[in-house]
Amino acid sequence: MIQGGEGMKTLMNTHLGNITIDSEVIANYAGSVAVECFGIVGMASVNVKDGFVKLLKMDNLSTGVCVHVNNNKLVIDFHLIVAYGGNILTVSDNLTSNVKYKVEHFTGLEIDKINILNASFLAMTRAIESLNVKPEHLLIDGNRFKSKLLIPFTTIVKGDGKMMSIAAASVLAKTYRDDYMNKIAEEHPQYDWLENKGYPTAKHRDAIAQHGITPYHRLTFKGVKEFNPNPTEISLF
């Protein structure tokens, strides 16, 4: 039996007796693992009142992490700042794989769910703030958006097929992704990423079947999730 929650002690009954774990210790460790992941700028502290986001220092990472216990398993919420230009899903999958493996090994507790809160919205906000010219209106490729920015916006589902400006941004995102795939292909040449750029070609699928998956694979994708022995639910907000 495990009892506990955010800001509380976690009590675990084992064959060795009762073990008490401070949830802040888990939060600090999970935060340190997260900031080491590719594409993560750092943990964020969010002011709920005005939506202001600030980057946390390394000695205060637990402020950006909430640890809960649900049905004897850990649920971890992250407030993250993602690097400008980074692919949110790729970064999220990479973080999920690393956090799940290392935190479960560190605590002996199974992680049931990882929530990456506001990751995509924070990344878009940072990109907009970095512009030299303030836009008058934002076109968002998707069905939702929220930000502290006082700029009107329109969400457009499958916007890259409807708006030229979104399509142009998609081209830039693809060239960035291709450069990224060329870089990580040096770590895992057996998957032929130099040629397939991560797409599920026959050679790529055969390599997954033979060598298994890497932290870079999107664990929720068909053809990948079947080879994930310990699936963890991941939510993006």
pLDDT at residue 237, rounded to an integer? 41
pTM: predicted TM-score of the whole model, two decimal places: 0.47
- Domain ranges (residues) in the chain: 2-122, 124-230
Q: What is the dihedral of CA 36, 61, 44, 172, to 10 degrees?
A: 0
The CA distance from 80 to 42, in Å, is 6
Q: What confidence score (pLDDT) does residue 162 get?
A: 92
In sequence order, what are the beta bridge partners of 235? Answer: 115
| Joined tokens for residue 219 | 């664990």
Rounded mean pLDDT for each run of 10 residues along the chain, 237 residues in total: 46 62 82 82 56 53 76 78 67 82 81 69 78 91 79 89 90 86 91 88 88 74 64 46
- Between CA 229 and CA 42 the distance in angstroms is 29
Q: Locate 13 and state its tokens.
A: 């009954």
Architecture of the domain delimited by 2-122: 2-Layer Sandwich (3.30)
What is the torsional sign of CA 137, 142, 143, 149?
negative
Interhelix angle 88-107/23-35, rounded to 10 degrees, is: 140
pLDDT of residue 230: 59
**Annotation: CATH topology of 124-230:** Nucleotidyltransferase; domain 5 (3.30.420)
